Amino acid sequence: MPQTMHGRKSVISLTAALFAIVIFGSLPRAVLAQQAAAVLEKPAANYWVYVGAESADKMHRLRFGPSGLVVERTWEIGELPAEMEGPHGVQISKDGKNLFVTTGHGFPDGKLWMYQLGPDTLVAPGVLLGNFPASVDVTPDGKYALNSNFNLHGDMVPSSVSMVYVPTMTEVAHIVTCTMPHGSRITPDGLLHYTGCMMDDQLVEIDITKKAVSRRFSVAKDKEGPLPVDGPPSLMLNMWIDGAKKVSKGVTSDPAQVGYEAMGKMNMPPQSCSPTWAQPSTDGSKIYVACNKSDEIVEVDRATWKMTRKLKTGRGPYNLAVTPDGKLLISTLKAAASIEIYEIATGKILATIKNSTTLANGVTVSPDSRYAWVASEGVGAAPGKVDVYDLKAFVKVGSVDVGQQAGGIAFWKMEPAR
């Protein structure tokens, strides 16, 4: 039988909903009753999401609908039984046919895996990428998967983004970008890829058609603005690469594969933003960058390449998502074990809600903009959790246990409830 927690019985009472919104929300009281009542409605559809449990080497398929939130299927991922390989980045192709998962550990080079959704069967052997591939995203046409090689195992030297041609599952570009590229997403038009570089305080743009870095932007606190692609960051990068070539005798041009000694033991300046995620808006005109250290979200205009505003957040914004209707921006607050919801038009915080366990991580949203799912890691041997939130009432409406260190999460499909 599928594992069920907080199903129909978990739907909270009207009194509890009002209390939750008064405590955590910031909407006018005139609409509180209407929104609290909305959570009492059963979902009109069934929704499916996939989540990875990094410390359990497991993938889970979850279903949420009128009967609640359940784990529908679980399977193990990886190929080394004696090692923890760690599913980290999770994404689904726009046509809903394929699931892409990065495993960040191993030799320690990580891999990209592709599964056929539904039967959840592996399509082909994993593709070897760089050190610790973190997030993964897929172009709208399904042809390319871009993976940020976070290089958690290595020294504080520039790492890369791997570009994989999906039809043959072949790495066709290894683009050196910055130090510790992490959360990244592709624009809706499929032309540009954005990633936040945690140790460089940079937003880096990749032109997918050219397979190269096209722009850089500083998100360092009070120093936000464009950076020259061929300016100081690239000069420093070239110096690192030259050092790497001398040590490796030309074997590699990726300094992340060589290490600190080859880079002249250079020290990095302290970070003031430490960006953990870069999220384009629904129409692709803005890029939202989560500054995990300064507790802010920086909004960058794609056309002018200027910062247009900052949104103050709770402690430790980590992963971001936008609703398809373009109205809401959602952030997990990893340090605060919470989810925070912002109205994009005004920048106001509409709600801050505690998750079911600690270390909030990934977030995904349904195509009807009604629900959000948040994966939280937990600590030690404690299970991970996935919570589902009603984005009209701003309350939690379901929760379920999954494997340890739940992180990457992606929406699959919705169908009318029978």
Report how far apart the first and last C-alpha atoms of the chain are (Å, whole number): 20
Residue 251 pLDDT > 80: no
Average pLDDT of span 344-373: 96
| pLDDT tier, 106 (very low <50, low <70, confident <90, very high otherwise) | low
Per-residue DSSP letter, 257: G
- pLDDT at site 92: 98
Going by pLDDT thresholds of 50, 70 and 90, the confidence category of residue 381 is confident
Give the residue, 353 or 19, on which the prediction is more confident.
Answer: 353
Cα 129 to Cα 109: distance, rounded to the nearest angstrom:
6
Kindly state the average pLDDT of the residues 320-342: 97
Q: Is residue 108 very low, low, confident or very high in pLDDT (cuts 50, 70, 90)?
A: low
Residue 261 has, within 13 A of its CA and on its CB side, a CA count of: 4
Q: What is the mean pLDDT of the chain?
A: 87
Residue 376 parent element (H or E)? strand 371-376
Q: Which residue carries 């005139």 as its tokens?
A: 30
Q: What is the pTM of this model?
A: 0.88
Domain 3-416: what homologous superfamily?
YVTN repeat-like/Quinoprotein amine dehydrogenase (2.130.10.10)
Convert 147-184 to b/e letters by CB count within 10 Å (16 or more is b): bbbbbbebbbbbbbbbbbebeebebebbbbbbbbbbbb
Percent of the chain topping pLDDT 90:
67
| 327 pLDDT tier (thresholds 50, 70, 90) | very high
Domain assignments of the chain as residue spans, ordered by start: 3-416
At residue 102, does pLDDT exceed 80? yes
pLDDT at 18: 39
The proportion of the chain whose per-residue pLDDT surpasses 70, expressed as a percent, equals 86
Whole-Å CA distances, 294 to 195, 276, 290, 310, 338: 18, 11, 9, 11, 17
Residues 6+ apart with CB under 8 A from 250: none
Q: In terms of Cα–Cα distance, which of 350, 309, 308 is closest to 329?
A: 350
Token pair 């398929």 is found at 61
Q: Give the C-alpha separation, 6 to 30, whole Å.
A: 29
Rounded alpha-carbon distances, angstroms, from residue 311 to 249, 332, 343, 355: 47, 14, 10, 21
Average pLDDT over residues 239-251: 72
Mean pLDDT confidence for 280-301? 98
- Nearest to residue 271, comparing CAs of 294, 255, 287? 294
